[in-house]
Amino acid sequence: MRAVNRNSLLVWGLTAGAVGALLFWRHSVITKLGATAFVTGYILFGLMVFLALYNTRKKLSMVPLGRASSWLTLHVIGGLAALFIFAAHIGTFWPLGLAEQVLATLFLLVSASGALGYYLQLWLPGRLARRGPEMIYDRIPAELARMRAEAEAAAMAAADVSGYDTLGRYYVESLAWYFARPRFSLNHLLGGRRPEVWLRRRLQTIDRLLSDGERVHLKRLEELGAAKTALDAQYSLQTLLKSWPMVHVPLASALLFFAVWHLIVVHVYAR
């Protein structure tokens, strides 16, 4: 889902105008030696609360609270607006106090993790589509177990054809490692071809030692290996897509907690 599209141009324009007006007001007040920290701080805090509601909206998907794509668009727009308001609020390149530095660090980490998450949502669906029909994430372990059982059966069946356990022993010594669980996760994320190369070399190694009857079962192992490679890629990419909120959401929660604490401290010492 893209946050920038024809339907969202009006919201983008209104938000840009509102942020521009706020920055112009801040500049005019500062030139008169006035203070703007309370206003920009409260606006920034309110915006952060609104952004935090997006996670609640995702958990309450069964409740008719508007389209998910609309919430995502508002989340992205609000996040970008928060960056400008944050810069206006601190009024300097980097705050001096330790507490303010902790808040600034959390804010930047939340912003960076949010930008990364949005990029992943745009980038990963295309990668998944190129790896064949998308498999539901929760079903992948069961599908891998089915492939492993079928690969073991194919390796053992070769012995019934030839009377030798050449393919069976080779499967146990080499190929069983590959079928045991998802492999080459980092390489799949980087878009490499190491799994295909690894599998092809090992199949070519044993091919010249087999009879024609055994090669039928080796061909089946090759087909299962190719299918597992695609499934491993699906698993790696979907795991990344599901894992980034485990970084973004706790950081956002910590930011909101420290923002409330900062608000209380400011009011206590402002008296």
Predicted pLDDT at 245: 87
- Convert the pLDDT of each residue in 149-206 to its tens digit: 999 999 999 888 878 888 999 999 999 999 999 999 999 998 889 999 999 999 999 9
Is the pLDDT confidence value at 33 over 80?
no
pLDDT tens, position by position, 65-123: 667 778 888 899 999 999 999 999 988 888 888 888 999 999 999 999 999 988 888 88
pLDDT digits (tens, 9 = 90+) for 250-267: 999 999 999 999 888 888
Residue 64: the pLDDT is 64
Question: Per-residue pLDDT for 63 more than 70?
Answer: no
At residue 250, the pLDDT reads 92
**How many CA atoms lie within 13 Å of 34's alpha carbon, on the beta-carbon side?**
12
**Alpha-carbon gap, residue 256 to 93, rounded angstroms:** 22
Prediction pTM value = 0.79
Instruction: Check pLDDT > 80 for residue 23.
Output: yes
Residue 237 burial by Cβ neighbours in a 10 Å radius (0-12, 13-18, 19+): buried
> 146: which 2 tokens?
């089915």
